[in-house]
Chain A
Amino acid sequence: MTEEFTEVYLKYSDKIFRFLYWHCQDIQKAEDLTSEVFFRAFKKWQEFKDEYPQAWLYRIARNLLIDSYRSKRSLSSLEEALEISIDEDLIENLEKNEEVQKLKLALGKLPENLRQVIILRFFEDLSSAEVGSILGIAEGNVRVLQYRGLQKLKEELE
């Protein structure tokens, strides 16, 4: 079981981390939430392991984001928290990267629903069907949101 979990973590954690980072725009919080996503996922592993794990992990991440906006506190305080460490090299790379900073700023100005579609569809390269499944919306809605999201993002970056 440990090996299975490790494999899943290594395969998907960067995607989840990036998704969370673009949303909360804070590396430590993104790392905190990433750990929480996998903790919750592994707790219910037997229940969901036959499902497509990527979509399921993104769903947990999205729900955690919603919860964190509502409670405005770190979710690791709800469970037994571990000391959250950060990849120091990554911090340096991200903070020095102007493109990343510019993108972060622009994404931060998008409404939540548009930001989610843009990140999943274009940054993580998921299909409309996959995005719809994660967000719980129809494919048609995904297309409308991606259109509006691209329009808005273009405005912000120009």
Chain B
Amino acid sequence: MNKEELINELIAAGAKPSEASELAQFEKSLNKPLFQRSHGFKLTQVKKVLERLNKSHRFSWRRFIRPLGLAISGLSVAGASVFASQGSLPGEPLYPIKRLSETVFEQINPEFKNEIPIRRSEEVKNLIESDKDDDAIKKSLEDYQKQSADTENEESIKQAEANLRKAQESATEKSKEEIEKVLKEGDVKGEQNKKGSESKGDDSRDSDQKPSGDSNSLEEDNSHSGEND
């Protein structure tokens, strides 16, 4: 630092010229040790800083612990809700979760579709056994009809119908009639399906069977895949 410059600066800051000169002289006389760390030491230190920098840039699970924890908690709660909902009946709070979970199950395993009529029929049975009103039972039967229309699995329908017959035993007169109506409609539909499949030369109502319009498409697909080999 230039002494003259310092004196001017000190005067500009309010010092008297004599004082400014004295202070500038004092500053000049100060021993200002510019101590340094050794080169080797500094290289070691910078290496440590760089290692630390690299560590902080690496993927760290710690960043994700909290959001993961929240996600797992959320999934656990969801999982518990789905599990708890499986026994719920129409009109109960968890019933929508049950129905939603069925949609998901069906996506994962299309065979699950065959379980649906059984589940609906069990609901009808449980509603009757819980002394629910006839309107609720009727609504549940309508739901059964709608959902079982998508299923052609004989075993599934047989079991569902067995559930409904069992339900009839403890139902009110009105509900008994409703169940009878549904079972008859089911029998008629079954007969129609049987006749339909017989006229096409098929003697089974296997659910793997494609709908009548597409009955040749499987053979066509096989031939195509043969060509592609």
Shortest distance between the CB of A20 and any CB in chain B (Å): 12
Q: Is the interface of A mostly helix, strand, loop or mixed?
A: helix
Query: A14 contacts which chain B residues (CB < 8 A)?
Result: 34-37, 42
Q: Give the residue of A18, A43, A89, A90 whose beta carbon is less than 8 angstroms from that of B53.
A: A43
**Top 6 nearest A-B pairs by Cβ distance?**
A9-B46, A147-B13, A143-B13, A87-B41, A87-B37, A14-B36
Interface size on A, residues (CB 8 A): 43
For residue B61, give the distance in angstroms from its CB to the closest CB of chain A. Answer: 14
A5 interface residue per 8 A CB criterion: yes
A82:B51 contact, CB within 8 angstroms: yes
Chain B CB count within 10 A is highest, among A87, A123, A125, for: A87
Q: Establish whether residues A103 and B31, one from each chain, have CB atoms under 8 Å apart when the complex forms.
A: yes
A97 contacts partner chain B, Cβ-Cβ < 8 Å: yes
| A144 vs B11: C-alpha distance when bound (angstroms) | 10
Query: Does B26 interact with chain A (Cβ within 8 Å)?
Result: yes
Contact A13 B31 (CB under 8 A): no
A50 within 8 Å of B (CB atoms): no
Residues A13 and B52 in contact, CB atoms below 8 Å apart: no
Interface residues of A (CB under 8 A from B): 2, 5-6, 9-10, 13-14, 17-18, 31, 34-35, 38-39, 42-43, 79-80, 82, 85, 87, 89-90, 93-94, 97, 99-100, 103, 121-123, 125, 128, 140, 143-144, 146-147, 150-151, 153-154
Annotate B173-198 by CB proximity to A: 1 below 8 A, 0 otherwise.
Answer: 00000000000000000000000000
